[in-house]
Amino acid sequence: MKHFKRVVVVLILFAEVAGTIMAKTQVSQRSGGKLPDGSTVEIYTLKNEKIEVQVMNYGGYVLSIKVPDRSGKVADIVLGFDDPVQYYEINHGKGNPFFGPIVGRYANRIAHAQFTLDGKVYQTPKNDGENTLHSGPDGFHSQLWTGHVIPDGVELKYLSKDGETGFPGNLSVTVRYTLNGRDLKIDYSATTDKPTVLNLTNHSYFNLSGQGNGTILADELKLNASRFTPVDASLIPTGELKSVVGTPFDFLKPHAVGERINANDEQLRLGHNGYDHNFVIDGGGKELKESAEVYDPATGRVLTVLTTEPGVQFYTANFLDGSIKGKGGVAYPRNGGLCLETQHFPDSPNHPSFPTTVLNPGSEFHSTTIFRFSAR
């Protein structure tokens, strides 16, 4: 009997070890060809028994995320293109949707394309009317990063030189994508040799029914945010932190994205008849907190977002109009995806009351976001 028990214990331990081995993420690297400027693209595949993620060194784009639904059927749930050259071309054209890159130095908008730091005015590119959006056409999304394989993922590095896109300081940036079980974890780190401002995010568009498969209007969204930052006509925050209670911005309990998107609400109209607003995460900005959950009733897929950032930009792809053809040649319609961009607040350098985005020499910026995938 004792011998039998020992055998059972050994078998259980073997099963646990085998399960751990099976759960380990496999990381591979391959060439993605050359871009029109002669740069060589490298594509990294992170894969375990449930999830597969592809990332490339150009722009740090998340190219695909393949996850199962409630019945085990796997689909790619992020919008994008089949060919890396297409990302390059749209970065150098007009109407860039930012399908999944690392965005910086400053994600989101800067009013009038300028900010003041230590008494000096810095001018940034105007690519959104009079404002700067995602640091202009030469932001981090259009740069070639240096990548190498690390345990469970890939590490990307980039040196943004003093004065690049108008920002001060030589900024050394490291972004790590790692896949562990159901979690795609993004770790951002940076140091500078001059005072500067910094706001980094990933700009993936999610469609939990599968990219190119309709809209996200039926998805049920929960945001752990009691306040949001209202915007003016150019989508620049007014500086107010407004309660979501009694407004279409109240996602403290789950609501379908499309339930109130056409409501008679000035902020929705200013968002081009949809959501394109920063939400203030309750208790956010210090430790890892759950900020959002999206549930797709059709497939059962669930996306949970955790972050150390104080805000999350909820965007319902209001500028997509079917003119951009993505993977498989499928046209992406209005509301064909949603973004949950974990971040500091838009235009923070021009709003002293907002959480600061200033990074000084001798300090290290660090931020973590987790995209957690499941089904129910």
Beta strand pairing call for 109-110 and 220-223: unpaired
H-run or E-run covering 12: helix 2-23
Q: How many residues does the chain have?
A: 376
Spatial CA neighbour of 220 closest among 278, 292, 279, 276: 292
H-run or E-run covering 17: helix 2-23
- Do residues 260 and 274 lie in contact, with contact meaning Cβ atoms separated by under 8 Å? no
Give the whole-angstrom CA distance, residue 173 versus residue 175.
7
- Do residues 167 and 105 lie in contact, with contact meaning Cβ atoms separated by under 8 Å? yes
Give the whole-angstrom CA distance, residue 357 versus residue 367.
12
Give the whole-angstrom CA distance, residue 332 versus residue 215.
9
DSSP assignment letter at 330: P
CB neighbours of 322 closer than 8 A, spacing ≥ 6?
331, 332, 333, 334
CA dihedral 175, 133, 207, 326 (to 10 degrees): -100
Cα-based angle 336, 301, 18 (whole degrees, multiple of 5): 135
Beta bridge partners of 276: 315
> How many angstroms separate the Cα of 10 from the Cα of each of 2, 5, 16, 139, 190?
12, 9, 10, 54, 46
Beta bridge partners of 116: 121
DSSP assignment letter at 69: -
Catalytically active residues are 203, 341
